[in-house]
Amino acid sequence: MREIDVWTVGLRGLPTTGDLLDDDERRRWQRLRMAGLRERFAAAHWARRMILARRLGVDPADLRFETGRWGKPELTDRAVFHSLSHSGEVAMVAVSSAGPVGVDIEAIRPDLPATRLARTFFRPHEVASVENAVDRPGRYIRLWTRKEAAGKVTGISLDRTLRIDAVGRPGRPVDLDCPDGGRGMARITDIDAPEGFLASAALLGDEPFLVRPATFHAVPA
């Protein structure tokens, strides 16, 4: 069976100097005005390099990335596929050799205006799913993480990501657009996340996959 390794990363205490950022990452980092956002961005991208470097047995500084049409970063040599998401003080890095992968993690916000947001961004049956939920903010965030994870598989734009059908049983295949204008298919599933967060992962193709969770620990030099 195909596999995805999903690493959960606590960002607090990780390097925030941006020393390992490449030129594109550095431009994005420098555009962030709030100190907290800058620190979490640098820490998350540092952790991504560490995880990929360990997986491939290379120096983190030697990793090279390229950005697709809609901003999805991939290793230039496609040695493995990966996806990064971070929310608050937590990040997730998904890695797979089976094909393009996506992951999304979001903090749970009990005060989220879930019904209004669902009516703005979701399709009618998804709006109904939120409106009928006991925990409307949780349901909205759950559907959002599914859409984001699937959209990150091919790196499509947000408007096309929002078209992905997020309602249904976890692990089912979904149709999605591709940046070249074609159609594709991915499987998407809910995954474990730290308390106060929800997360989903997706992998290109309609074959089932197994998620192998891990926790990233690092003692920066």
Give the pLDDT confidence of 95-110 residue by residue, as tens digits. 999 999 999 999 999 9
CB 199 within 8 Å of CB 104: yes
126 within a domain of the structure (yes/no): no
State how far the Cα of 158 lies from the Cα of 156, in Å rounded to an integer.
7
Q: Examine residue 22 and state whether it is found in any structural domain, yes or no.
A: yes
pLDDT at 164 over 50: yes
The answer to the question of residue 169 being in a domain is yes
Instruction: Give the domain extent around 46.
Output: 2-107+141-216
Number of domains, the chain: 1
Let me know if residue 127 belongs to a domain.
no
Determine, yes or no, domain membership for 49. Answer: yes
pLDDT for the residue 184: 77
* pLDDT at res. 206: 86
**Could you tell me the pLDDT band of residue 221, with boundaries at 50, 70 and 90?**
very low
- Answer whether residue 39 shows pLDDT above 70: yes
pLDDT in tens, 41-60: 999 999 999 999 999 999 99
Asked whether residue 136 is assigned to any structural domain, the reply reads no
- Overall average pLDDT of the 4-21 stretch: 92
128 within domain boundaries: no
Q: pLDDT-derived band of residue 26, with 50, 70 and 90 as boundaries?
A: confident
- CATH number of residue 62's parent domain: 3.90.470.20
135-147 pLDDT per residue, tens: 999 999 999 999 9
In a domain, 119, yes or no: no
Compute the half-sphere exposure of residue 32: CA atoms within 13 Å on the CB side of its CA. 14
Q: Given a cut of 70, is residue 181 above it in pLDDT?
A: no
Residues 6+ positions from 27 with CB-CB distance below 8 Å = none
Confidence of residue 12 (pLDDT cuts 50, 70, 90): very high
- Provide the mean pLDDT of the chain: 90
Structure tokens at 80: 């493995």
